[in-house]
Chain A
Amino acid sequence: GAGVSQTPSNKVTEKGKYVELRCDPISGHTALYWYRQSLGQGPEFLIYFQGTGAADDSGLPNDRFFAVRPEGSVSTLKIQRTERGDSAVYLCASSLAPNYGYTFGSGTRLTVV
């Protein structure tokens, strides 16, 4: 597609539930990144993929968070047993040459009630 697409745009879930957030990167971009942006803060790195493999998952806060990119294109961020502290905007970005900057999606606002 023309840009990075993230779905859903907004998600409200109850504490303890499981959620999946989807990212569809720009066609041909081999690198894909997930960031989390809490209210009033800058984005914080979670994980990045080079192709199908997670090249760096050092930003995932705990084992409730997991991400996949099985075919090297679409990625899904999965959060188990959601907590109120997981409420944030989850941003996805893709790039061909990251030193020229990423292209970001519009994010998914997750609210855990």
Chain B
Amino acid sequence: AQTVTQSQPEMSVQEAETVTLSCTYDTSESNYYLFWYKQPPSRQMILVIRQEAYKQQNATENRFSVNFQKAAKSFSLKISDSQLGDTAMYFCAFMKLPNFGNEKLTFGTGTRLTIIP
């Protein structure tokens, strides 16, 4: 079974600064996917960024980037030039390589991020 650990229950940062959220995971799989999801008060989980484990290059999406360290089983999220709209819960999630097209996500417990004006 896979486990995902987010060791920072809460973080806060000033607007326009950079913040890094930590995530570690445990798996015996060699191929898998990793995701960061954002959950604002509206409750809807929104995909922020994804990483394929077999790709060495770190994924980036505009102000969001990851530091993927496969050997260390670490997958941190960096948010640059943080904005008030980034305030939300952030969840790290793991997915095994899908068999027959589908697989479930395993989530961490989340980090509550607050951007301070």
Q: Which residues of A contact B (CB under 8 A)?
A: 31, 33, 35, 40-45, 48, 50, 55-56, 59, 89, 91, 93, 95, 97-102, 104-107, 109
> Assuming A99-B33, A104-B45, is B109 touching A40 (CB within 8 A)?
yes
Partner of A91, one of B45, B104, B106: B45
Nearest B-chain residue to A103, judged by Cβ: B47
Q: Which of B12-20, B76-84, B94-102 contacts A (4 or more CB under 8 A)?
A: B94-102
Chain B residue with minimal CB distance to A89? B43
Measured between alpha carbons, how far is A109 from B52 in the docked complex, in Å? Answer: 32
State whether A107 and B44 are in contact (beta carbons under 8 Å apart), knowing that A42-B109, A42-B110 are contacts in the complex.
Answer: yes
Number of interface residues of B (CB under 8 A): 28
Determine whether B11 belongs to the interface, using a CB cutoff of 8 Å to chain A: no
Would B44 and A95 count as touching, CB distance under 8 A? no
Minimal beta-carbon separation of B38 from chain A (angstroms): 11
Query: In the complex, what distance in Å separates the CA atom of A22 from the CA atom of B25?
Result: 32
* Residues on the B chain within 8 Å of A50, using CB: 100-102
In angstroms, how far is the closest chain A Cβ from the Cβ of B104?
4
* Cβ–Cβ contact A45 & B105, under 8 A: yes
Q: Please give 19 more A-B residue pairs, beta carbons under 8 A apart, in addition to A45-B104, A55-B102, A59-B104.
A: A33-B104, A42-B4, A42-B109, A42-B110, A43-B91, A43-B105, A44-B107, A45-B105, A48-B104, A91-B43, A98-B95, A99-B50, A99-B95, A99-B97, A99-B103, A102-B105, A104-B44, A104-B45, A106-B44
- A31 with B102: in contact, given A41-B109, A43-B91 (CB under 8 Å)? yes
Closest to A101 in B: B47
B93 to A, closest residue via Cβ: A42
- A95 and B35 in contact (CB under 8 A), knowing A40-B109, A105-B44? no
Q: How far is the CB of A21 from chain B (nearest CB, A)?
A: 14
A42 and B43 in contact (CB under 8 A), knowing A99-B33, A102-B105? no
A97 to B95, CA, bound (A): 12
CA A89 to CA B110, docked complex, whole Å = 15
Nearest residue, chain A, Cβ from B110 = A42
Give the contacting residue for B103; candidates A59, A91, A98; CB below 8 A. A98
